[in-house]
Amino acid sequence: MLGGAVKPGDVLGGKYAVERVLGAGGMGVVVAAKHVDLGQRVAIKFMLAEAMTDPAHAERFLREARSAVRLKSAHAARVLDVGRLGNGEPFMVMEYLEGRDLDAELQARGPLPPHVAIDYVLQVSEALAEAHGLGMIHRDVKLKNLFLTASVDGRPLVKVLDFGLAKTIGPHGDVSLTATSSVFGSPQYMSPEQMRSAKDVDSRSDVWSLGVCLYELLTGRVPFDAPSVAEICAMVLKEPAPPPSQHMRGLSVELDDVVLKCLEKDLSRRFQSVAELAFALQAFTTDEGAARRILHVMRSAQEIAHAPPKVVVNDAEELATSGATTMKARDSGAPTRRADERLMRPQHIGAFVGIALMGFVGAGGITMAVTTRAARPAESAPSPSPSPSPAASSSAERREASPAPSSRSTKEPPPSSATEEPAGPAAKAAKTTPAGGRPKPSAPGRPASPPPAKATATATASTVRTPPEKPKTGPGSGGDYM
């Protein structure tokens, strides 16, 4: 029996078969289990009935589990599922890890070489950087919550456990808070501000605790230790930490300074983030990109935490809404914002300027041609004729404004007769008859045919229906700008 709650062989949540106990404390039990359908081995932590007397503990248990799910770092233990037992006790399903925590590693190996200890601390810093960026404070960083396992390629991999979980005060000899209590953390690792008020701490409290872990990995002992919790608290609040080199010869003064800055009681003199600590440790490790990676993780998490929530709607509703908006914009003649953005692109602005210049040059050329021809005296008419009608004048100006082909365009095909000659007899009469109704003098040796009735009206109507001439594309016509 595991505290009267579960036993080997029990199936939790209808899918996790309990195998054996991995650990137990005053608040709960951790067991190894296997998914009955997938065969996946997991670790399940659940609260004991004694800890359920205060509903706040169960709520905090599930709230912290939901927070841990947000962590994506490879150095944070993954939370896979949460649920409740038949009696209402909550449980948390986590990834199963093979290895041991750093406290057991230290007991087995003794003080670690500086480069190994620093490498472990940098791995922990990466997990804390993401948590801090998301606004989560661990409040119980200690060697027992840092688990040493192996990555896929066999390299040592440190994972952080128990984000934000409350611990209890245990018997003499283990002053971890493993009984139900409102105090968070372990006294040897707690910062001065956390001892005063656990609710008012920020990420710099975890920096203190991480400095204690580094101190312990280098020397084999914590900087503040005493037989009782009260004595430990008094030392943390009042006494300065001794340099690590005082307990372990061979440690450099520069490394002493880094560790002692983590343990500054004045918050303003302490490292302000795990990223700043990582840059200070960069000189003592061969992983040159560790500090920048940790800084990037922290900033990325901060962007995620401050990003506005994404609203997910039904695909059909989204398509219908976007389609209705687009149709409304087109019906009203107002461009959409995407169209405005395309119009404001530099290459499009340049194209518009080029078209405008081409139109300006073309219009100027037409005006100069009309002015030049208008200034020449009429050679074919013996005397000034009455002013032509506006429609006939417009037709004549269009024909005259067309520039004559130059010597370079001799191979260009002649323009279509449909463009130069109006169709029908009436149109031919209109071409040889001025607007005043007088017949135009014919060429010598060719009798002039009398004008048909209503020639002026026919010419005007024919001119209006004549389609505009096609633009020339030869040299000098403006086509080389297109």
Catalytic residue ranges: 140
User: Which residues lie below 8 Å from residue 41, measured CB to CB, with a gap of 6+?
Assistant: 19, 32, 33, 34, 35, 96
Are the CB atoms for 177 and 170 separated by under 8 Å? Answer: yes
Nearest 10 degrees: Cα torsion 18, 22, 24, 27: -70
Task: Determine contact, residues 21/10, Cβ cutoff 8 Å.
Answer: no
Cα Rg for the chain, rounded, in angstroms?
45
What is the Cα–Cα distance from 182 to 236, expressed in whole angstroms? 19
- The tokens for 345 are 């692109």
* Structure token digits, residue 335: 């461009």
SS3 category, 156 = strand
- Report the SS3 class of residue 260: helix
User: Could you please report the per-residue DSSP string of 30-63?
Assistant: EEEEEETTT--EEEEEEE-GGGGGSHHHHHHHHH
Count, residues in the chain: 482
Rounded to 5 degrees, what are φ and ψ at 146?
-115, 110
What are the φ/ψ torsions at residue 159 (nearest 5 degrees)?
Answer: -120, 140
| Cβ atoms within 10 Å, residue 177 | 24
CA 129/CA 119 separation, integer angstroms: 15
Sheet holding 11-12, edge to edge: 11-12, 16-24, 28-35, 41-47, 90-95, 79-84
The token duo for 424 is 């029908």
CA distance 125 to 75: 9
What SS3 class is residue 319? helix
Residue 46 near residue 90, CB atoms below 8 Å: yes
> 361 — alpha (psi -120 to 50), left (phi > 0) or beta?
alpha
Degrees to nearest 5, angle at CA 378 with 410 and 417: 40
CB 262 within 8 A of CB 281: no
